[in-house]
Chains A and B, each alone.
Chain A
């Protein structure tokens, strides 16, 4: 609960959560995770995902229908795998009211803004607030400032992003889908922060008591 921790009291609380609740994985070693992408249109949501999915080509993953739903599996150092099922959403203002249909049951929300566009940063804050109010309570949220390669056009200071994320207990990162900077780091960090299902019934009962 210390000031230094960006995720106060999070880990212990999440351990005992049933995995099925968040569309989550089958067992402790192989997680399946629903990830929803939110953010203004034009901030590069789809570019980030395409970079992530194409960069690490997984021959075992089934070919998906299109570009708005993609899935990608990553292997972590502790030999667990995380399969991200990535739900893109339409970022135009007129579809904002439809977002709950998409983020319902999501274990992860990645909220993207464009560092050259302050409006998109305000919109990102709107999504954070909305998810805090209506998202599942233990959703893992990441704030992403995209287009970090356009330094000379930057209008949102990196510190603003860090501060806002800190205040809201989120993970923050700046990425460039164009140069692939920090794209894998984003998803790896999310994977690390995911609540793990209990390994055995022993652990489950322990956390339930706690």
Chain B
């Protein structure tokens, strides 16, 4: 609904600007955009420049023959269109313009990644009546949209949608608990949602909205909810052992553990080694998946070139074969374990077709083994021999 409104008003704006009578307006807009490329980006100055330009354009639009009969809403629509046009054109120069912004964004994201590993709603004293995973998820999704938009207005819309969902949750709980609700409940939930969502470039997005959202629009309710997200960000940045309802020592240990886990998982994503596969089952499963799709693997299994005992009869075996058989067995058992782990990592919808595919390919030997837990050496040995 909201998105459709903006896109139509934006198209209206573009259409109007194509009118010959708008040539002077278009000329000012273009020269303003060009003037930006003459200077190095300087966020505070640039914000002021853009805001001043918005004001002068608003005055120009109000005086313009094409808008003589326009209502306040029409003027507002035109201004929203202008904001979107200008800020889309200037986006790469104005968004996260300084290296410090990038650094702050990365630090916040990294801190949130650590917090995500252990932070629970009760650490922020969020009462059980407000625990609602589906609504939280919805709010997170709205917040995550913020970074995908370029216009300050649209970024602001995703903040408002996120807050609206939290408020609905609060109001519903208030109704059933017969207890009024307010900021005491709202802010902790917003902070928790922000940590769960880890919205990319949080600092840069907030700074961008602050500087480039039309000033007269960042007031009242919009300003209030914007301020709440600013506070959530500040709280996360400053968050330490004393900020949460948990033992300080527990906090420190959890942060340390999170740092270690994050480190190992990023290392093991480069090299998917056998001894690391416990921690990194999913990237392993990808690799195994590719291998299984390769018909060569199944052919090898079937024709047994790597498995010289596939056609052997027990009578033909000698004592000397025991060593070779044992090493083959160990090798197979290890591969089997990894394979089962990899398959269990897949979702049911991914797993079923894969298993059927394997069955069709005649990998019958693999299937029962995969479903069973690792059996004793003897049973598996006989199974191979029987085949």
Q: Is the CB of B182 within 8 A of A88?
A: yes
What per-residue 1/0 map shows which CB atoms of B236-272 lie under 8 Å from chain A? 0010001110000000000000000000000000000
A65 to chain B, nearest CB (A): 5
Bound-state CA distance A87–B231 (Å) is 13
B166 interface hit (Cβ, 8 Å): yes
User: Given A92-B125, A95-B235, A97-B238, A41–B184 Cβ distance below 8 Å?
Assistant: yes
Bound-state CA distance A69–B225 (Å) is 8
Q: Is the CB of A46 within 8 A of B183?
A: yes
What per-residue 1/0 map shows which CB atoms of A150-170 lie under 8 Å from chain B? 000000000000000000000
User: Given A90-B183, A90-B187, A101-B234, A85–B220 Cβ distance below 8 Å?
Assistant: yes
Q: Which of B193-251 contact A (CB under 8 A)?
A: 219-221, 224-225, 227-228, 230-231, 234-235, 238, 242-244
Chain B residues within an 8 Å CB radius of A23: 219
A66 interface hit (Cβ, 8 Å): yes
Main secondary structure of the interface of A (DSSP, over half): mixed
A49 interface neighbour in B182, B186, B242, Cβ under 8 Å: B182
Bound-state CA distance A23–B218 (Å) is 11
B130 to chain A, nearest CB (A): 13
Q: Is the CB of A66 within 8 A of B125?
A: no
Contact size range, A: 20 to 34
Q: Is the CB of A66 within 8 A of B227?
A: no
User: Given A67-B170, A90-B187, A95-B235, A50–B163 Cβ distance below 8 Å?
Assistant: no
The residue of chain B having its C-beta at the shortest distance from the C-beta of A83 within the complex is B220
Bound-state CA distance A97–B186 (Å) is 17
Q: Is the CB of A89 within 8 A of B183?
A: yes
Chain A residues within an 8 Å CB radius of B187: 68, 90, 95, 98
B186 interface neighbour in A50, A68, A85, A98, Cβ under 8 Å: A68
Chain A residues within an 8 Å CB radius of B243: 94
B320 interface hit (Cβ, 8 Å): no
A200 to chain B, nearest CB (A): 24
B183 interface neighbour in A64, A65, A85, A88, Cβ under 8 Å: A88
Q: Which residues from chain B sit less than 8 Å from chain A, CB to CB?
A: 125, 160, 163-164, 166-168, 170-171, 174, 180-184, 186-188, 219-221, 224-225, 227-228, 230-231, 234-235, 238, 242-244
Q: Which residues from chain A sit less than 8 Å from chain B, CB to CB?
A: 23, 37, 41-42, 45-47, 49-50, 64-69, 71, 85, 87-92, 94-95, 97-98, 101-102
List 23 contacting pairs A-B, 8 Å CB cutoff, sorted by A: A41-B184, A45-B183, A46-B180, A46-B183, A47-B180, A65-B167, A65-B221, A66-B166, A67-B167, A67-B186, A68-B167, A68-B186, A69-B224, A71-B221, A88-B183, A89-B183, A90-B187, A90-B188, A91-B183, A91-B184, A95-B235, A98-B234, A101-B230
Known: A46-B182, A68-B228, A91-B183. 9 other contacts (CB 8 A): A45-B182, A46-B184, A65-B221, A66-B170, A68-B167, A68-B181, A88-B183, A92-B188, A102-B227
